[in-house]
Amino acid sequence: MKIVVLDGYAANPGDLSWSEVEAMGVCVVYDRTSPAELMERAKDAEVLLTNKTVLDAAAIHALPALRYIGVLATGYNIVDIDAARQRGIVVTNIPAYSTDSVAQMVFAHLLNISLRVEHHAEAVRQGRWAACKDFCFWDTPLVELSGKIMGIVGLGHTGMRTARIAQAFGMKVEAWTSKSSLQLPPDIRKAESLEQLFAQADVLSLHCPLTKDTQGLVNARRLSLMKPTAILVNTSRGPVVDEQALADALNAGRIYAAGLDVLSSEPPRADNPLLRARNCFITPHIAWASTEARQRLMRIAVDNLHAWLDGKPVNNVAR
């Protein structure tokens, strides 16, 4: 069996091992694969593992040996599922491997914005505290999270973990979710509408998938409902946010700050308005990428492949 890893570098830049995958057949690992390289590299493969390399209908129908696609991520919109289903190809994903890491990043952004630890540490290195007439020094607002309302859009694994961490900080949690009020824990309030959640939240954290209904969910109208002290955090998908509308809201002071780990195009275009927006803090899509999360991803990818070989596929999104 020939196995081709199309873009293995993101999940494993060299600190992990492909040995368990290599033990299952003839395995070729590429760090990255461009669209122009795809067909030549994949032409004889029975198994393709991909993170962000797109496998559209044309590619899937042009690969007669292909029997299995393993997506090395939770989202699988890079694969044409209908085309795979027509060919009887199993497509698996990696669910819930990065829950703890992504929830941790939410609060890395939130604590950075609320206390600006790195900024003040740098000010100390620059001698600004040493030159201060007082025993303490700060030059940004210092915000306490306790008692604030954490609004969560999407209450799946990561949204729920974020909610529990927020509660540990003493925050009140409200959520916009497809779950009914009866399905929610008593200490999480279901918002009556997205508009209500935007208006009431002191912190709004996005944990929804990217669909036609959620694309542009954070738009100019909803941003106008938010408090001028509100903070937006996005660790879900970039296109959930209208980036120009968010940049305009930040620059005008209509909301206080944003912490983003995702953008609409990655890497971002040089003219992305959020790169220069006021109080906008962007990390380069790393919330998922802790060593522990990537170890889980690799473990589940191997387990998925073993299950398929045993004739009992799991995490099959092409059923």
Which amino acid is located at 186 in the chain?
Answer: P
278 catalytic? Reply is no
The backbone torsions φ and ψ at residue 95, rounded to the nearest 5 degrees and listed phi first, read -80, 145
Please count the other Cβ atoms lying within 10 Å of the Cβ belonging to residue 122: 11
120 catalytic? Reply is no
Query: Of the listed 237, 254, 294, 296, which one is catalytic?
Result: 237
What are the angstrom distances between the C-alpha of 309 and each of 24, 66, 259, 302, 313? Answer: 9, 14, 42, 11, 8
Query: Of the listed 122, 266, 269, 276, which one is catalytic?
Result: 266
What are the angstrom distances between the C-alpha of 94 and each of 29, 68, 72, 206, 208? Answer: 19, 14, 6, 20, 17
Structure tokens at 283: 């990390």
Distance between CA atoms of residues 113 and 259, nearest Å: 8
Q: Would you call 78 helix, strand, or coil by DSSP?
A: coil
Please count the other Cβ atoms lying within 10 Å of the Cβ belonging to residue 4: 23
The residues, any chain, with a CB within 8 Å of residue 192's CB and separated by 6 or more, are none
237 catalytic? Reply is yes
Largest Cα–Cα separation, the chain: 75
Query: Of the listed 61, 67, 189, 285, which one is catalytic?
Result: 285
Query: Annotated catalytic sites, by residue?
Result: 237, 266, 285
